Amino acid sequence: MKRCVFSVVALFILGLAGCVRVTRPPADLTYSEVPLYAWEALKQQRSFGFDYYLASNPMQFEVAGRGSVVLPDALRFRGTWKLGEEERALNLAAAGDFQLNKEGAEWVPHPKSEEGKILEQADRVIRQALIRRKGKGFELIEETNKTLSYSFKPNLAYLDVGFKKKFTGELVVDRRTLLAREILAQSEDGDIQFRFAVGKINRRRKIRIPFSENFRLTYNLAWGRLGKAKSTLKRRLDDAGRPSRMQIRNGNLQVGVTFPVDKLTARMLGEPGELVILGLNLEGVGPQINTRGELSDIFHVADTVAVPHVKSAEVAFDSLSRPVLELVLAKSEPSSRSFDYLGLAVDGALYEVLAVDNPTDLIRIANVTTYAEAVALGIKLRKPFRGQLLFVGQERLR
């Protein structure tokens, strides 16, 4: 079977802010496997910029502009929207199920429109080809030193009234990173066109717009000092790209934010962030360990052997583009290694199991399911506090 040959050394792109890390692709991908990896891996990068163009001559419709995506859920877009003789400027930011439109000096939330779902649009164009078995939805049509180009049948049927047109599509992949660089699609007569081009991968960390109190989070103090909990939560929300304003009312902590916060992230940011290294045995009289919601029937906790300090916690990706959390710990060697395994636990939940002879200054936590969870876990580990806020709920203010 023909296989791509790619360097397996660490990949870096030199950006304006310094060296920017990009996911290392698997070394053994076949040509037919590249398109699926290229698109799915791109969506798991921390951020990227994009140029966007969509036009339908029969409908006299056109949207064009540029923007950026910042995981887990933020998008910024500026451009123009035209329908016949009508034309207006687009200036929006989106997160969660909402987009914020600039109306005068205010950023006002609305349910997401199609302009706030540009990444979802690109996915819709290419998805039917991606789900065909064994890469049969794509054909390699050009190979250069820098790119691989594939043809595919795109899905632009929603712009084809009467379903009368035939479409062609092209996926351009960066040969070095194996990430999607461009998605092109058009009708054979050129009446309908779509372009989504990617650049500036992993250069941005936040979507920046002026603060506007559009949503309110409510927390109740479970234990600890409310003043300390308030200041810690504010710093954590800043790290999550959610600047906030806070007040204490009726014993609850009320937090105003511009963008909504998903429930998992809101809950995790109120937790202590206590990291411990445990001694684990397969048999014994010690208590069973909580494996993130369920008691393990495999491991028993023999002892707490270290309480390390987290120097840094950064989200990275494994070779299959799944999020992992990389922790650099201040030197805090286990007081004993006379166990079957070592366990890394956060707030009483087991996240990683290590061989007893593993170094404990640099640890990768792979037991996270989403990028958002990895980000929230890293934030609370970098900024732990002795206390806990219980997330009550979130409401839209306007």
pLDDT digits (tens, 9 = 90+) for 79-132: 999 999 999 999 999 988 899 988 888 888 999 998 899 999 999 999 999 999
**190 lies in the same domain as 223:** no
126, 228: one domain: no
215 and 195 together in one domain: no
Amino acid at site 76: R
Buried b (16+ CB within 10 A) or exposed e, 274-303: bbbbbbbbeeeebeebebeeeebeebbbbb
Given 146, 174, 199, which residue is the final one in a domain? 199
Residue 373 lies in a domain: yes
- pLDDT tier, 318 (very low <50, low <70, confident <90, very high otherwise): confident
Rg (alpha carbons) of the chain, rounded to whole number: 24
Q: Which of 38-52, 101-115, 337-351 has the lowest mean pLDDT?
A: 101-115
| pLDDT for 18 | 35
- Domain range for 133 is 12-199
Same-domain check for residues 185 and 319: no
Integer Cα distance of 44 and 87 in angstroms: 34
- Report if residue 7 sits inside a domain: no
CATH number, domain with residue 40: 2.50.20
- Contacts of residue 208, defined as CB under 8 A and 6 or more positions apart, other chains included, come to none
Range with lowest mean pLDDT among 125-129, 176-180, 270-274, 365-369:
365-369
Where among 199, 233, 248 does a domain terminate?
A: 199
End position of a domain, from candidates 144, 175, 199: 199
Q: What is the pTM of this model?
A: 0.78
- Find the Cα–Cα–Cα–Cα dihedral 209, 213, 215, 221, rounded to 10°: 110
How many structural domains comprise the chain?
Answer: 2
Does 288 lie in the same domain as 181?
no
Burial class (CB in 10 A: 0-12, 13-18, 19+), 95: buried
Residues 166 and 231 in one domain: no
